[in-house]
Amino acid sequence: MKRLKKVLISVAISMATVNANAWPWISPYAYCIGNPVAAIDPDGRKVVFINGKIGGGSPAAGSQYWNGANSTFVQRAKQFFDDRNVSFTNRDYGYLSSASQRRIEGYEYAKSVYSDWISSMKPYESFKLVSHSMGGAFSMGIEDYIKEQGRAVDYNVMINTFQVDKIDVDKSSTTFYIDYQNTNDPVLFWFDINLGHGKLENSDMMIREKSSKDLLYIHRSPIDTGDFWKTIKDNMKK
């Protein structure tokens, strides 16, 4: 339960800066606009799923990358976050793109879709990000833009992230970062310069485990199998 402390604190004490801009007559420190009983949203916040590289046998971008909006992975993510409001990115990346380049692209992407994302959200609601492979650096750009607009990002979950050690995370950030890798992922060992030994500096949770899937399916195995979110939940309890 100690691992939840960072998220709970950020939710409890974060100033709703977006309220200060939208409703200047309401204090930005007024939780649920001063009416927590009436201001209940059963849908909670928004979860954004950020795809990895397209091609090489992977599904198309968007919800298909995650085996559909109703896949086991997506449904269990909703259960884990207790949210039903989801979006899926639909971008590809260059094979030779750098982590810093993808972060910039993520920022620009978020800028282009942000108004659509928040159209189904209340002013005090926050985001949660889930990414795979090359999408990890892209997710950081998305996070940068969201925070720039005064919204919080509660979680950033990165799965088998390519060039993970090239991603800078501010250690003072209130976002809870999860760095998950399969230790026998051939994509990370064969194509990433860190040979599969990279890690996300300043992450709040780092999980390393061997996949039991065949070689060609390891990189996507956390998405394609049903036990990923159970692994995260079990590690939260430690």
66-122 confidence digits (pLDDT tens): 999 999 999 999 999 998 999 999 999 999 999 999 999 999 999 999 999 999 898
Domain presence at residue 107? yes
- Is 70 within the bounds of a domain? yes
Q: What is the pLDDT of residue 193?
A: 62
User: In whole angstroms, what is the distance from residue 137 CA to residue 105 CA?
Assistant: 9
Over residues 19-39, mean pLDDT: 48
CATH number for 165: 3.40.50.1820
Structural domain contains residue 148: yes
For 106, the 3-state DSSP assignment is helix
Q: How confident is the model at residue 226 (pLDDT cuts 50, 70, 90)?
A: confident
> CA separation (Å) from 140 to 100, 211, 222, 237?
9, 26, 20, 26
Does residue 101 lie within any of the structural domains?
yes
The answer to whether residue 118 sits within a structural domain is yes
% of residues, the chain, pLDDT over 70: 79
**The length of the chain, given as a count of residues:** 238
Number of domains observed in the structure of the chain: 1
pLDDT in tens, 171-214: 899 999 999 999 999 988 877 665 556 899 999 999 999 999 99
Residue type, 198: G
Full domain range(s) for residue 150? 57-236
- Determine the residue type at 193: I
- Within a domain: 13: no
Q: Within 13 A of 28's CA, how many CA atoms are on the CB side?
A: 13
CB count in 10 Å sphere of residue 195 = 10
Higher local confidence (pLDDT), 124 or 5? 124
Query: What is the structure's pLDDT at 27?
Result: 54
d(CA 53, CA 133): 7
Give domain status of residue 194, yes or no.
yes
Residue 89 belongs to a domain = yes
